[in-house]
């Protein structure tokens, strides 16, 4: 089958990112050396991106079960029961490397890919979110990347007609050469109509549908598993090109076909295209697959077996149909003007056999491709211990209002309007709360139920203390959902780290997964899907670690949800999770420290998961009982920033009582966790309820009609003034 001329050597394998041990294992399992196509398939399946070989050992420690879980990790996306016979199906995935090379297409195909993961399961996507990290903003390259990524995300989501309802973005110089673009999609399906990928029934037809195959994205999964260097520009041809219009046709055609009783199994052609889809379908079914590559629809001539198997052309799916369903299925794809081609069949052999020009060009056992994929316990150490920053060490006597104005003009705190107004956040007409809230709220179409969704991570905390940072990402998402009144259900995670072959990076990964697992267990939000992106380094410099959490929750009646905008003058402002005693506030690893402290890495605010749970639950219950009319999680920038955001959104002002003692700036800008600012018409009832629940609560002021923030007796600033810096920051930076 393999002519001597195509016999591969270790040198070829090494060029595809395989190690000597991995090469030896392949030749041993095959009993011969592979040809180019076969080696390409092994290298893609065993890439970090597809095999999770460095992270698998640690991912297994995460909680994945719960009564709400319908489908945990391992399928195209996770699924949870949201009641009413419906499932929320969701996942987050990275497209970091392609987006750095070609920001528009990289980001667009990231969105397209995650949408396919969701509708492959039979769910209609209803919401998109993202988590982005860019380098220093005062930099032409960063501006180019921000602009390209944002328009790429919008370009795909806006056209396919799924609202982009939320997200997060930070800027740090560690991302100068390696940005992060993580896209999350959430869909809805009937719980009893979820589609999976395991191939069934030897002899059943294997169908290729969607766009034609070209030479774009060849070996993209392998590129995503390597560090960047100066030669990265030469990898532009490995970036895929998105076509959201075809994506829309594919989505509609698949959902239409899935509504009939035709599809046995289905898998999207994402990373490693036809290779991973065919191998995963056959492997999960414990079966084999035979494919005639001459039948694959192509848009370029003379594509080799290697190119056909490794192409990452977008908007393609592989399906196994019921034997009698082919013509019904063909009619659906004809209606949507998409290619529909039976290209092979399910077999009993347990082998992947590929035919081309009448002969076999690949014949390999599927077991080793998946089961023998390497799993490493990479060397790691202990996370460095960080000193605690005493608030008193930072001495400034500026009034709170002045500091607040400076902070709101900080790129990590400023309004994201310039970004999110480029996304259609309202199409489908069920967005009840879009970008700018604590969590997004999307109504389940035709019902009063709502899905609450948020993406979160604070990389500077993770860098300082990966275990606390990993837990904090889950806790912040939990707070964000609780702050609108929703019950958190489950999470998806996107672990973005540097090179795992470095012990200090592996330590970050392990510690943050541990923290994340602890938090997910305590908060009853198991991990149902996720993605790992490693080797986020350029010329040996790793990114700030960024384990992003995407959390999904539910609220029975969207009308009971609240926002983070003050409602009426005369309402009382309280902080839940903060006692009367003077506190100095936790300024280590805060945004305030970035402004006024030194450049040292200090310990981040500690996380008490039991407090997170009880405070979040209390806020949720009080919202649903109608006792809280606006709520906002206290996170980046602390209490004063949270209050300012609630005021700016409403146009109302606030009179805030400052504490008589303690560190004033620590009080205003400390980032102590497990806290919420809320407003209510009945402060006495809320305080009594908190006392009953054993939760600390402090009344700190009143909402006022004057458009002014007043701290203490004489420190005031107008809402217009803070709004000016808050809204002006990113637009002016983008102008350069």
Q: List interacting residues with another protein (CB under 8 A).
A: 151, 154-155, 158-161, 243-246, 248-249, 252, 336-337, 417, 420-429, 431-432, 443, 558-559, 651, 723, 727
CB of 122 to another protein, least distance (A): 18
Active site residue 49: yes
Instruction: Identify each DSSP E strand in 425-486 by its residue range.
Output: 431-433, 440-443, 450-456
Cβ atoms 110, 270 nearer than 8 A:
no
541-542/537-538 β-pairing: antiparallel
Residue (249 or 534) nearer to another protein, CB: 249
CB of 414 to another protein, least distance (A): 13
Question: If you count them, how many residues does the chain have?
Answer: 736
DSSP 217: T
**Location of structure tokens 């035919």:** 355
**What SS3 class is residue 693?**
helix
Tokens of residue 7, six digits: 């016999």
What spatial distance separates the first Cα and last Cα of the chain, rounded to whole Å?
59
Residue (434 or 638) nearer to another protein, CB: 434
Q: What residues does 464 pair with on adjacent strands?
A: none
Rounded Cα–Cα distance for residues 713 and 731 (Å):
34
List the catalytic residue out of 49, 97, 410, 572. 49
Residue (72 or 163) nearer to another protein, CB: 163
Closest to 687 in 3D by CA, of 622, 636, 639: 622
Residue (246 or 507) nearer to another protein, CB: 246
Closest to 263 in 3D by CA, of 326, 337, 189, 211: 326
Active site residue 97: no
**Location of structure tokens 């799924």:** 162
Residue (425 or 679) nearer to another protein, CB: 425
CB of 724 to another protein, least distance (A): 10
Tokens of residue 390, six digits: 């005493």
Residue (165 or 674) nearer to another protein, CB: 165
H helical segments located in 286-399: 305-310, 326-335, 366-370
Residue (236 or 245) nearer to another protein, CB: 245
Neighbours of 657 (CB within 10 A): 15
Neighbours of 35 (CB within 10 A): 22
CB of 315 to another protein, least distance (A): 12
Rounded Cα–Cα distance for residues 446 and 430 (Å):
9
CB of 415 to another protein, least distance (A): 8
- Dihedrals phi, psi of 52, to nearest 5 degrees: 55, 40
Residue (434 or 550) nearer to another protein, CB: 434
Q: How far is CA 189 from the centre of its chain?
A: 20
CB of 146 to another protein, least distance (A): 12
CB of 73 to another protein, least distance (A): 31
Rounded Cα–Cα distance for residues 63 and 78 (Å):
13
339-347/288-292 β-pairing: antiparallel
Rounded Cα–Cα distance for residues 474 and 472 (Å):
5
Closest to 587 in 3D by CA, of 406, 460, 427, 435: 460
630-633/676-680 β-pairing: antiparallel
**What SS3 class is residue 402?**
helix
CB of 245 to another protein, least distance (A): 3
Closest to 537 in 3D by CA, of 97, 68, 127, 185: 97
Q: In the β-sheet with 487-496, what is the strand arrangement from edge to edge? A: 431-433, 440-443, 450-456, 546-555, 487-496, 527-533
CB of 316 to another protein, least distance (A): 17
**Catalytic machinery residues:** 49, 95
């Amino acid at each position: 089958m393999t002519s001597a001329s195509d016999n591969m050597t270790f040198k070829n394998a090494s060029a595809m990112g395989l190690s000597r041990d991995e090469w030896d294992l392949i030749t041993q399992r095959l009993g011969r050396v592979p040809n180019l196509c076969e080696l390409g398939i092994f290298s893609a399946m065993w890439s970090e991106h597809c095999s999770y070989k460095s992270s698998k050992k640690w991912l297994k420690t995460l909680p994945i079960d719960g009564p709400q879980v319908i489908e945990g990790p391992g399928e195209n996306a996770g699924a949870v029961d949201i009641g009413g016979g419906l499932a929320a199906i969701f996942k987050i995935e990275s497209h970091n490397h392609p987006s750095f090379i070609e920001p528009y297409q990289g980001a667009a195909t990231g969105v397209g890919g995650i949408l396919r993961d969701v509708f492959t399961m039979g769910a209609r996507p209803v919401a998109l979110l993202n988590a982005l990290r860019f380098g220093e903003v005062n930099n032409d390259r960063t501006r180019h990347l921000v602009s390209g990524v944002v328009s790429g995300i919008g370009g795909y989501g806006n056209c396919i007609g799924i609202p982009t309802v939320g997200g997060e973005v930070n800027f740090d110089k560690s991302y100068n050469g390696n940005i992060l673009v993580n896209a999350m999609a959430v869909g809805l399906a009937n719980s009893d109509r979820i589609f999976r990928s395991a191939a069934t029934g030897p002899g059943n037809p294997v169908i290729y549908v969607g766009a034609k195959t070209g030479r774009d994205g060849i070996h993209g999964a392998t590129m995503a598993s390597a560090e960047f260097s100066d030669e990265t520009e030469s990898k532009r041809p490995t970036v895929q090109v998105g076509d959201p219009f075809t994506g829309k046709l594919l989505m509609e055609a698949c959902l239409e076909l899935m509504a009939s009783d035709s599809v046995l199994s289905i898998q999207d052609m994402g990373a490693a295209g036809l290779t991973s889809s065919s191998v995963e379908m056959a492997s999960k079914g414990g079966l084999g697959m035979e494919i005639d590559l001459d039948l694959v629809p192509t848009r370029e001539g003379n594509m080799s077996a290697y190119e056909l198997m490794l192409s990452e052309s977008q908007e393609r799916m592989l399906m196994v149909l019921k034997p009698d369903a082919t013509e019904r299925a063909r009619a659906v794809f004809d209606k949507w003007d998409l290619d529909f081609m039976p290209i092979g069949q399910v077999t009993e052999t347990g082998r992947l056999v590929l035919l081309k020009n009448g002969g076999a060009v690949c014949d390999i056992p599927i077991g080793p491709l998946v089961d023998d994929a390497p799993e490493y316990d990479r060397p790691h150490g202990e996370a460095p211990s960080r000193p605690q920053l005493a608030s008193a060490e930072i001495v400034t006597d500026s009034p709170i209002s002045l500091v607040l104005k400076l902070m709101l003009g900080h790129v990590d705190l400023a309004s994201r309007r310039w970004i999110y107004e480029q996304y259609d956040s309202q199409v489908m007409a069920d967005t009840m709360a879009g970008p700018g809230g604590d969590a997004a709220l999307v109504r389940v179409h035709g019902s009063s139920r709502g899905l609450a969704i948020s993406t979160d991570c604070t990389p500077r905390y993770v860098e300082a203390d990966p275990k606390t940072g990993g837990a904090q990402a889950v806790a912040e998402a939990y707070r964000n959902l609780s702050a609108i009144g929703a019950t958190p259900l489950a999470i998806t995670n996107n672990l973005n780290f540097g090179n795992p072959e470095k012990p200090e990076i592996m330590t970050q990964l392990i510690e943050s997964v541990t923290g994340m697992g602890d938090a997910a267990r305590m908060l009853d939000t198991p991990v149902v899907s996720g993605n790992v992106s490693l080797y986020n380094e350029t010329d040996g410099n790793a990114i700030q670690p960024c384990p992003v959490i995407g959390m999904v929750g539910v609220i029975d009646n969207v009308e009971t949800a609240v926002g983070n905008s003050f409602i009426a003058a005369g309402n009382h402002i309280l902080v839940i999770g903060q006692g009367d005693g003077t506190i100095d506030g936790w300024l280590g690893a805060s945004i305030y420290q970035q402004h006024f402290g030194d450049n040292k890495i200090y310990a981040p605010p500690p996380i008490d998961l039991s407090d997170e749970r009880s405070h979040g639950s209390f806020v949720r219950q009080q919202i649903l009982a109608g006792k809280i009319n606006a709520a906002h999680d206290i996170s980046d920038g602390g209490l004063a920033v949270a209050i300012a955001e609630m005021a700016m959104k409403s146009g109302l002002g606030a009179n805030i009582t400052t504490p008589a003692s303690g560190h004033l700036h620590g009080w205003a800008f400390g980032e102590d966790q497990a806290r919420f600012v809320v407003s209510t018409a009945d402060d006495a009832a809320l305080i009594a309820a908190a006392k009953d629940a054993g939760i600390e609560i402090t009344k700190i002021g009143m909402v006022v009609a004057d458009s002014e923030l007043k701290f203490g007796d004489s420190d005031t600033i107008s809402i217009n003034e803070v709004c000016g810096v808050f809204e002006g920051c990113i637009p002016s930076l983008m102008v350069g």
